[in-house]
């Protein structure tokens, strides 16, 4: 049975068990440790995963040709769409307020928030004076900055930097596999979380979680309609309907697997064979995008931060909001395209503004439902950028694009 199906079954079972415990007077908190242990396993991964993924993400642009016009265009598109997606997530959560009234217990929990920093202080604080101390303390922003500089230095060093690069690649692969191992415990963790939420927080909290998921889906669909279709129509001058027909197989794979990396082969096939993008553009833009362009994940990070602040009754000022945008943008570079990574990297965003890590506890229960459409959005975003740049560079076969074929081998994966 596929992991996503196990998680959904566990979520339903947890709701039922928690509801029965609530009605019969049993304390559902006895199941909370199942979720707590799962979250601690996730926290265990964060530091080394950020360090390895971020460094490799920067090293991925080592070819001088890729650092030219094509590379700048690609990175600029990815940066703009990521910032827009974070902003949309924050706006939706601020307007619809899914976290208000989530739990009276959480709202009354005493939380100490550090004094907001000025913009200058924010930028000064992200530069590590001692990268080893940053790794030990788990200062995610400083780890990201150090990893970025290290990646650039490895590229500039050339062959002498290869041993270090290979060591980091090895570390990254180990961490990816460790993440896969931890995610196998997700059904157990989700069961414990949902049973606790349903049994302790009550029906109102369940409805708030459902509201959060629905708002997130609405934000994703709006982002596709306005940003993605807007880029295709206004910048590339192309029909978005043809784009959707051509990329649909990759969207289905992304939705079902929850993995941008697993969807990459199908995405590249769709973009090249269905949408007419040259192999040169396809082979550069899509692999880079699967590493650093996470629009669906970014929407979630913006929404989740506001949701948790509302649930705990914490007011975030403009500096805190700006910190969320900066942190979520940077963490997108360090998010590997495998299931659960967006949720893991969410801890980076929370700690950057002093929000309690425990707030992830309730969102973990619905993360798989969130991840399905989020991954589909990630894959679509990479394809939109590839098509747009190919059109601008004269490397798009318009006849092929306009006759985009829907089915590809592997579309039922």
pLDDT digits (tens, 9 = 90+) for 134-166: 888 777 668 878 887 898 889 889 899 999 999
* Cα-Cα end-to-end distance for the chain: 14
- Distance between CA 248 and CA 243 in Å, rounded? 8
Assigned token pair, 119: 């913009």
Both tokens assigned to 246 = 């051509």
- Give the number of other CB atoms < 10 A from CB of residue 266: 23
Q: How far apart are CA 19 and CA 208, in angstroms?
A: 16
Per-residue pLDDT of the chain (413 residues; tens, 9 = 90+): 766 678 778 878 988 898 888 888 888 888 888 888 877 787 787 778 778 876 876 676 555 555 567 778 888 898 899 899 999 999 999 999 888 877 666 655 555 555 545 556 656 777 888 989 888 877 766 887 888 789 888 988 989 999 999 999 899 888 878 877 887 887 888 788 778 877 876 667 778 888 999 999 999 999 999 999 999 999 999 999 999 989 988 887 777 666 666 577 778 888 988 899 988 788 777 867 776 778 988 898 889 889 988 888 888 888 888 888 888 777 665 555 455 556 666 777 887 777 877 777 778 767 777 887 888 899 999 999 999 999 988 889 998 998 855 444 444 43
Indicate the SS3 state at residue 290.
helix
For the whole model, what pTM was predicted?
A: 0.69
Structure tokens at 278: 């040259």
What domains lie within the chain, and their CATH numbers?
Answer: 3-402 (1.10.3860.10)
Q: Kindly state the helix (H) or strand (E) to which residue 160 belongs, with its residue range.
A: none
């Amino acid at each position: 049975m596929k992991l996503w199906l196990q998680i959904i079954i566990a979520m339903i079972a947890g709701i039922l068990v928690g509801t029965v415990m609530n009605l019969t007077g049993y304390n559902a908190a006895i199941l909370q440790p199942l979720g707590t242990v799962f979250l601690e396993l996730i926290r265990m991964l964060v530091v080394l995963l950020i360090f390895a993924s971020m460094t490799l993400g920067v090293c991925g642009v080592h070819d001088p040709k890729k650092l030219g016009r094509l590379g700048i265009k690609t990175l600029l598109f990815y940066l703009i769409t990521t910032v827009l997606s974070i902003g949309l997530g924050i706006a939706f959560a601020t307007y619809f307020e899914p976290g208000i009234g989530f739990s009276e217990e959480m709202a009354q929990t005493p939380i100490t928030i550090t004094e907001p920093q000025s913009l200058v202080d924010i930028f000064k604080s992200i530069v590590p004076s001692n990268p080893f101390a940053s790794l030990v303390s788990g200062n995610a922003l400083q780890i990201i900055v150090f990893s970025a500089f290290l990646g650039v230095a490895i590229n500039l060093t050339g062959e002498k930097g290869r041993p270090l690069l290979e060591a980091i690649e090895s570390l990254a692969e180990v961490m990816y596999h460790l993440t896969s191992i931890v995610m196998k415990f997700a059904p157990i963790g989700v069961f414990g979380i949902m049973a606790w939420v349903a049994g302790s927080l009550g029906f109102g909290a369940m409805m708030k979680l459902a509201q959060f998921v629905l708002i997130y889906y609405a934000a994703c669909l709006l982002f596709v309609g306005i940003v993605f279709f807007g880029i295709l129509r206004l910048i590339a001058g192309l029909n978005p309907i043809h784009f959707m027909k051509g990329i649909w197989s990759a969207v289905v794979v992304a939705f079902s697997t929850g993995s941008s990396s697993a969807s990459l082969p199908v995405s590249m096939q769709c973009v090249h064979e269905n949408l007419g993008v040259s192999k040169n553009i396809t082979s550069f833009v899509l692999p880079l995008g699967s590493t650093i362009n996470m629009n669906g994940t970014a929407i979630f990070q913006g929404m989740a931060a506001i949701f948790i602040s509302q649930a705990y009754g914490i007011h975030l000022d403009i500096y805190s909001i700006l910190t969320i945008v900066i942190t979520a943008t940077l963490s997108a570079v360090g998010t590997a395209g495998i299931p659960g990574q967006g949720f893991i990297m969410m801890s980076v965003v929370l700690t950057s503004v002093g929000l309690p890590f425990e707030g992830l506890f309730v969102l973990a229960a619905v993360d798989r439902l969130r991840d399905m459409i989020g991954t589909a959005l990630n894959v679509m975003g990479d394809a939109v950028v590839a098509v747009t740049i190919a059109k601008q560079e004269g490397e798009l076969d318009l006849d092929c694009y306009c006759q985009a074929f829907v089915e590809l081998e592997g579309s039922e994966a």
